[in-house]
């Protein structure tokens, strides 16, 4: 019997290009806080001297950093490349794209997406009951809708905004950053066209009940009602998913 004694080696990693090394260095400085938001980066000649690379390498590195939304460039006498200030909306949009791709590839299921919402939105509703302002309550009142009418984009937007306002009322921007993309993916992918009978009436009833206890400052009731609401949504989304796939 012939024994194959060939040693199988993994392909060698591709050596990093000069601009990639520069990107990693500047990115590390930004993420560590060494270069805080708003900081103006050195000029191209200064960066060229500091890192010992040509101007074309510097420009390629800056383009790469800009494509990652780590820096932005302005023109004029006071222009240059500046570290970008973080935006919840912008970061959330990027995260939504990733979650949507995972849902499209069926890497995550409806139940898994709803599990994340339960983990985040139930305690957020409790915090919102403690931390909400009069303005938050006015905003929640403003997005109530009549479920008996014809449903369209305005209804979908109001439904989404109700949850986003509650997340903001919890006064922790990370809650909105993490949860909003999951909510939007579920709402866009598994809703609207195949909503079960009575879906919007149930949503309206749940929202009004949650608003009532949040207005009263009842944290425990807010968490309990949000948990029940998300359970209702999970069952509906399962039905919609089956109809969409059939």
**Domain assignment of residue 203, yes or no:** yes
**Residue 97's domain is classified under what CATH number?**
1.20.120.530
Q: Could you report the per-residue pLDDT of 154-210, keeping only the tens digit for each?
A: 788 888 899 999 999 999 999 999 999 998 888 776 555 567 888 889 999 999 999
Same structural domain, 210 and 131: yes
**Residue 37's domain is classified under what CATH number?**
1.10.10.10
Q: What is the DSSP letter of 125?
A: H
Tokens of residue 232, six digits: 């209702």
**Domain assignment of residue 12, yes or no:** no
Q: Could you report the per-residue pLDDT of 54-108, keeping only the tens digit for each?
A: 999 999 999 999 988 899 988 887 889 999 988 888 888 888 889 989 888 888 8
**Domain assignment of residue 4, yes or no:** no
Q: Domain span at residue 171?
A: 88-245
Last residue of a domain, one of 37, 68, 83: 83
**Domain assignment of residue 6, yes or no:** no
Give the predicted TM-score (pTM) of the model: 0.75
Place of tokens 């990027």: 94
Same structural domain, 46 and 151: no
Q: Where are the alpha helices (DSSP H) in the chain?
A: 18-31, 44-51, 55-67, 88-104, 110-131, 134-142, 153-169, 173-190, 199-216, 219-245
How far apart are the C-alpha atoms of 246 and 243, rounded to whole Å?
Answer: 5
Q: What is the pLDDT of residue 36?
A: 94
């Amino acid at each position: 019997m012939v024994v194959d004694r060939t040693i199988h080696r993994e392909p060698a990693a591709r050596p990093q290009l000069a601009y990639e090394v520069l990107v990693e260095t500047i990115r590390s400085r930004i993420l560590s806080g060494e270069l805080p938001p708003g900081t103006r980066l050195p000029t191209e000649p200064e960066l060229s001297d500091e890192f010992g690379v040509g101007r074309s390498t510097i420009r390629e590195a800056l383009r790469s950093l800009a494509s990652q939304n780590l820096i932005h460039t302005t023109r004029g006498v006071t222009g240059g490349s500046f570290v970008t200030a973080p935006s919840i909306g912008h970061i959330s949009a990027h995260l939504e794209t990733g979650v949507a791709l995972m849902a499209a590839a069926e890497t995550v299921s409806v139940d898994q997406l709803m599990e994340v919402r339960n983990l985040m939105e139930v305690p957020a509703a409790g915090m919102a009951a403690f931390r909400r302002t009069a303005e938050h309550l006015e905003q929640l009142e403003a997005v109530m809708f009549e479920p008996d009418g014809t449903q369209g984009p305005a209804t979908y937007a109001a439904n989404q905004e109700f949850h986003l306002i509650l997340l903001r009322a919890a006064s922790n921007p990370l809650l909105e950053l993490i949860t909003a993309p999951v909510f939007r993916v579920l709402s866009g992918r598994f809703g609207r066209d195949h909503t079960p009978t009575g879906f919007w009436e149930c949503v309206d009833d749940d929202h009004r009940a949650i608003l009532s206890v949040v207005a009263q400052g009842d944290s425990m009731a807010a968490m309990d009602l949000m948990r029940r609401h998300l359970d209702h949504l999970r069952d509906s989304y399962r039905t919609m998913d089956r109809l969409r796939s059939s």
